[in-house]
Amino acid sequence: MKNTKSLFIALIVSLSFSPMHAHEPDSIANKTVMGTFINPVIYADVPDMAMTRAGDDFYMISTTMHLMPGAPIMKSKDLVNWETVNYVFDKLTDHSRYDLIDGTVYGRGQWASSIRYHNNKFYVLFSPNDEPFKSYIYSADDPEGEWTLVSRMKHFHDASLLFDDDGRVYVFYGTGDLQELKSDLSGIKEDGISQRIFERDDEEHGLLEGSQVIKHNGKYYLLMISMVWDEPGRVRREVCYRSDHVAGPYEKKVILENEFQGYGGVGQGCIIDTPNGDWYGLIFQDRGGIGRVPILMPCTWVDGWPMLGDKNGHVPVTMTKEVDPNACKKGIVGSDNFTSDELSLYWQWNHNPIDDKWSLTERPGYMRLKTNRIVDNVFLAPNTLTQRMEGPKCEGTILLDISKMKDGDLAGFSAFNCPAGSLVVSKKGKKKYLSMTIEDPTFTKSKHDIAQVNVETKAQLPLNQDLVYLRICCDFNLNQDLATFYYSLDNKEWHQIGTEVKMIFDYTKMFMGSKFAIFNYATKKEGGYVDIAQFDYKKIEN
């Protein structure tokens, strides 16, 4: 997997085994080397991270909103190399908008989640930022196996679960809100604690959310992101509230406030200890079109406070730590030749898929996407297959068999966001064309439905064969965020087509980093299909 490879080529500074805990045969230290990695540790859209540890294994969950399956479970042995090992759920079914009917859930759906390992079981809590505004709690004996729904209850914004030493269970959420749950997580404890545990001070008159709670040495620590837009020069930061008692009183300290690499401050995330007793923080940073990317840094306990960053409180560009180069090699993005009869964990559908309208078995070695509903734009097209992009640069290429398209069908490859830049194959009567388009939607405020889509066709040419290669190259370096589009008829001679597209992270629309997207939809009649023979992915380190 090229993501793991990119983290280690030219980054391992010593191939000698670490002497730390070398006497422990089952310890992570016996499998690791000292290596240096570059931040962002994951240069892709992985926001609202929460982590837990079970022995030597770290597990992380992130927000994927309208993408299905959702609530990705990522695993690591060293906090540097990660791979997706599961999803908590396949679909959300609270209403038809998850199916792209009577509205959409772009920027809504599954939001910031909490993951915990407690008494040999794993638990996940999240609250969709959408009606009916109820939380989900799932559990699993094995995070890579089946997750079971435990309960649903009131909405908890950006929630964090805490299993206390005395068997009581709490949810920290919102801006300083605390709710006690029943010990079996079946609902709210009627006579339990339910209160605001602190009030904002004069500094906190902006964004204050993203709760992540731990208990350490008998004290409660609540980490939150803090951002005030109307104070010039102030960057987003991470603050910590600390108390000897779960319900307070709490005192506050800024634990990270540092502009990093021209993208502003780093805020919102979590801290965790390793089997060796070291502490690290994984905090995300907004980076424009690529989305919100995780930054790994030291966490040092100073006077009972978890201070983030290096000794000067700065986010490290490079950092040396124990890494396991043989673990989690699949990463979270990668190529796919579609030879499996199960969809790779790299992929997520845009909204709930229609399961009988895609197949990996009807033509082995191909992903078949069938038209299934008459729509007029890619943002409403069911069964659009997406995968994260990566920085600083990346490239995706597909081979598309368009021989079974019907009149009015549109299929292709997109740099998917708002706007979306796309390579579109269209069939008009008996003729086929390749276009490069820019599509920019406007949303209604009530249902977040698509009000209209402005479509610009930047280039178009006739296609006289049934196989076409499509390629998208993206540059997410500072002040770039550009997607460029290419096609080939033989995979040897490549031609740029259309214009570059500026990829934009817009929280009022998708609220998500840019994705590769493969689509096929009908504008006149159902029944056509396309076959995708391969998806070749490259990460480029400059």
Residue 244 predicted with pLDDT over 60: yes
398 close to 387: Cβ distance less than 8 angstroms: no
Confidence grade of residue 19 (pLDDT, cut at 50, 70, 90): very low
The residue ranking higher by pLDDT, 196 or 230, is 196
- In this structure, the number of other CB atoms found within 10 A of the CB of residue 311 comes to 8
At residue 482, φ and ψ (nearest 5 deg) are -115, 135
- pLDDT tens-digit readout, 185-200: 999 999 999 999 999 9
Identify whether the C-beta of residue 340 lies closer than 8 Å to the C-beta of residue 56. Answer: no
Q: What is the pLDDT of residue 325?
A: 84
- Dihedral angle computed from the Cα positions of residues 352, 434, 417 and 39, in that order, rounded to the nearest 10 degrees: 110
Tokens found for residue 91:
């679909």
Mean pLDDT of the chain: 93
Tens-place pLDDT, residues 492-524: 999 999 999 999 999 999 999 999 999 999 999
Q: What is the 3-state secondary structure (H, E, C) of 355-413?
A: HHHEECCCCCCCEEEECCCECCCHHHCCCCEEEECCCCEEEEEEEEECCCCCCCEEEEE
- Quick: pLDDT tens for 119-146: 999 999 999 988 888 999 999 999 999 9
CA dihedral 262, 266, 271, 274 (to 10 degrees): 0
Q: Which domains does the chain have, with CATH numbers?
A: 2-41+49-323 (2.115.10.20), 348-540 (2.60.120.200)
State yes or no: pLDDT of 16 exceeds 70: no
Name which of 30-39, 204-213, 215-224, 396-405 the model is least confident about. 30-39
Does 17 have pLDDT greater than 80?
no
Band (30; pLDDT cuts 50, 70, 90): low
